[in-house]
Amino acid sequence: MTTTIHLHTRFQVGPVDPRVFGGFLEHLGRAVYQGVYQPGSKHADSKGWRTDVIEALDRLQFTAMRYPGGNFVSGYHWMDGVGPRNERPTVRDLAWSSLEINEVGTNEFMDLSRKLNWTPMLAVNLGTGTPEEARNWVEYCNIPCGSKYADLRIGHGFEHPHQVKLWCLGNEMDGPWQIGHVPADAYAIRAQQAARMMKMTDPDLELVVCGSCAPDLPTYLHWDRTVLEHVRDDVDYISLHRYVGNEKDDTPDFLAVTKSIDEQIEETAALCRFVQRARKTRKRINLSFDEWNVWYRARSGDDVDGRGKLAPHLLEEHYNLEDAVVVMGFLNSFVRHADVVKIANLAQIVNVIAPILTRGDEMLIQSIFYPIEMMTKRRTGTSLQVAVEGPTYESKSYGKTQFIDSSAIMNGNTISVFAANRDIEKVTTVRIKVADVAIESLIDAEILVGQGPKDANTFEAPNRVQSQPFDKVCIKNGVAEFEMPPLSMFAGTFQI
């Protein structure tokens, strides 16, 4: 079996926004407490950050980091998380039935963001919070001095503004589970008021309005249309969320889900164009895919109910090889749609549906870590159109599907190609042809191979699924060729 990936250096989709390789840290389960922050750990630095976790996160080079939620944010009051720690209240988080001690808040998150070179992306509370509370937070973060909240920040020991330019107007407000959920037009009015006050406080903000958080909700696209018709010129991005899973234990079908991610992006982008045209506005709204991942096992019962505890074990998904292939599929889809997807956030980064798990002082790198690492290293440049010519299979839910899922990024005289082999049985020969230039040489490449779809890393066997350097690429007459084992992932950079 042979698949050819056809590229042309002039057939460009658009520059890949680095923020597409973003992450998400929510006050949920053990993401913050016992995840990034654990003062009692032997790995803790002087501020309580876990240095082992930080080193692992550093390898993923996350860009935009969304914080502090998620469902959590719809009941969160940012003032609870600033000022002297011994004066901060312990409160009940209703979203995850947990206890929140507020030891980590805005200033601590900013400290972590600076350490890891993250672009902070704060979500305001539009569930129980007010537009005014949202704009006060902008003042606290961004205004140098001379007014109430700016001076409060200075009083808390932070003389220089944090300069947070990227903000989300609430979270999943279309979801009936969301605290403060309202119909689309009611949310849109709230979002518009918040957006205007926030931009009056700092005109340089970029704002993300809540779009549909799942394509299977009955309000999918209707919600987006109503919201955009109200807020159009006040916001810059509309959000999309997506969690997928292999509930039916049908691996080929699960692996084909990437096709529906393409569709979700294309449908939402089309809706944005429609509203733009219908309302005769020149402003383009782009997409912020600000929650995405595989999540289906730890999704009900005790896995989502914190039972009033601090840092309960919630949403602790254990990932395997097939999940990693789907994760590469998400990223391939974002790269293929670089013209419209400008921000995307892996949900989440530690312990909660995450590539990294902690257990006491131990840390485990899960399978999904690797495709992210393989791609983020090679993320700089312009996305090229990818024409994949090769064998296909019939997926029950998504129809005809290419075995090879791919994307490509050109950066000067180099092209990086990403490919996932969805064939669970056969080796596939992959050829890369760039129509207008010859591939000169391989600069470097990695491959991820496992022992079957359910192969996974555990604390007892932590290195079963991991990427390794790969040089078995043959370049002849300007065409690259290599073999991909079943269910494998490739990322390679070529000189052209």
Q: Does 93 bind ligand AHR (CB under 6 A)?
A: no
Residue 300 carries which side chain, given as an amino acid letter?
S
Torsion of CA 50, 56, 58, 61, to 10 degrees: -140
Taking the least distance from each CB to ligand AHR, the nearer of 64 and 410 is 64
Residue 69 contacts ligand AHR per CB under 6 A: yes
- Read off the tokens for 17: 């926004």
Q: How far is the CB of 374 from ligand AHR (least distance, A)?
A: 23
Q: Residue 6 in contact with residue 409, Cβ under 8 Å?
A: no
Nearest-angstrom CA–CA distance, 484 and 419: 9
CA angle centred on 442, ends 439 and 445, rounded to 5°: 130
What mask, x for binding ligand AHR by CB under 6 A, covers residues 270 to 289?
--------------------
Residues 258, 261, 263, 265, Cα dihedral to 10°: -140
406 contributes a contact to ligand AHR by CB under 6 A: no
- Pick one of 3, 34, 71, 333: the residue that binds ligand AHR (CB under 6 A): 71
> What is the nearest approach in angstroms of ligand AHR to the Cβ of residue 96?
8
Q: Residue 449 and residue 455: Cα distance in Å, rounded?
A: 10
Binding-site member from 5, 23, 26, 104 for ligand AHR (CB under 6 A): 26
**Nearest-CB residue to ligand AHR?**
70
Instruction: State the amino acid at position 451 in one-letter form.
Output: Q
Structure tokens at 402: 């290419």
Q: Is 207 in the site for ligand AHR (CB under 6 A)?
A: no
Q: Is 322 in the site for ligand AHR (CB under 6 A)?
A: no
Among 70, 75, 131, 355, binds ligand AHR (CB under 6 A): 70
Q: Is 239 in the site for ligand AHR (CB under 6 A)?
A: no
What residues act catalytically? 172, 291
Distance CA 111, CA 162 (A): 10
- Provide the mask over 158-197, with x wherever binding to ligand AHR is found by CB under 6 A and - wherever it is not: -------------xx-------------------------
CA distance 116 to 11: 34
Cross-strand partners of 119: 64
Q: Closest CB to ligand AHR among 108 and 172?
A: 172
Binding range to ligand AHR, per CB under 6 A, among 66-74, 266-274, 396-404, 422-430: 66-74
Region of 69-77, 272-280, 390-398, 419-427 interacting with ligand AHR (CB under 6 A): 69-77
Per CB under 6 A, 29 contacts ligand AHR: no
**Of 112, 196, 128, 102, which Cα lies nearest the Cα of 162?**
112
Nearer to ligand AHR, 172 or 373 (CB): 172
Q: Provide, rounded to whole angstroms, the least separation between the CB of residue 171 and ligand AHR.
A: 5
- Is there binding between residue 291 and ligand AHR (CB under 6 A)? yes
For residue 21, give every residue at least 6 positions away whose Cβ sits within 8 Å of its Cβ, in sequence order, or none: 60, 61, 62, 63, 331, 344, 372, 375, 376, 379
On whether the CB atoms of residues 402 and 6 are closer than 8 A, the answer is: no
Among 280, 417, 271, smallest CA distance to 340 is for 271
Q: What DSSP character marks residue 298?
A: S
Q: How many residues in the shown chain lie near ligand AHR by CB under 6 A?
A: 9
Which residue lies nearer to ligand AHR by CB, 106 or 348? 348
Site of interaction with ligand AHR (CB under 6 A): 26, 69-71, 171-172, 291, 347-348
